[in-house]
Amino acid sequence: MIERTFVAIKPDGVQRSLVGEILGRFEKAGLKIVGMKMQWSDKEFALKHYTDDIEKRRGKKVRELLIDYLSEGPVVAVVLEGVHAIEIVRKIVGATEPKSALPGTIRGDFCHVSYDYADKEELAIRNVIHASGNREDAEYEIRLWFKDLELHSYKNAHDLHIFK
């Protein structure tokens, strides 16, 4: 099943110059970049990204911290395409809490902060990247961040190994 998913390299990932390293991991896994741009989001846009669903799951304070975090610097927004792209990207990214992310994942290799520390310090957890959690989230986030004209279809070398 070929699908598309959304990834955002968050302000800390951009500020730490991790964009190339992160994108390379997805490309090496055979995922295709079909949309990419850098955007500095305001809080109004960040509210649309972090919907009230996150507030229901994690609380109002966490949502506010995430909105501030997403709008504190530029984000590199990416749409990736590939076989089971959503699941594969989530595995490459690793657990949301960096302390729990396995070595070899993006968060496991580039972050280490725990929920406990972030809560104690009243900070959004700096985990360098966002990845859509499921098909519905991916569709919503892609439509939010990209216009149809900003998404592209093309063949790459990996397609030779996927298609008959």
For residue 55, list its beta bridge partners: none
CB 90 within 8 A of CB 142: no
130 part of the active site: yes
Nearest to 86 by CA among 22, 49, 34, 131: 131
* SS3 assignment, position 146: coil
CB 112 within 8 A of CB 98: yes
Q: Specify the residue for token string 């990834």.
A: 7
Active-site residue (options: 49, 84, 130, 161): 130
Q: Strand 2-9 relative to strand 75-83: parallel, antiparallel, unpaired? A: antiparallel
Nearest to 163 by CA among 82, 80, 79: 82
Nearest to 25 by CA among 112, 104, 83: 104
* SS3 assignment, position 102: coil
Among all residues, which ones are annotated catalytic?
A: 130
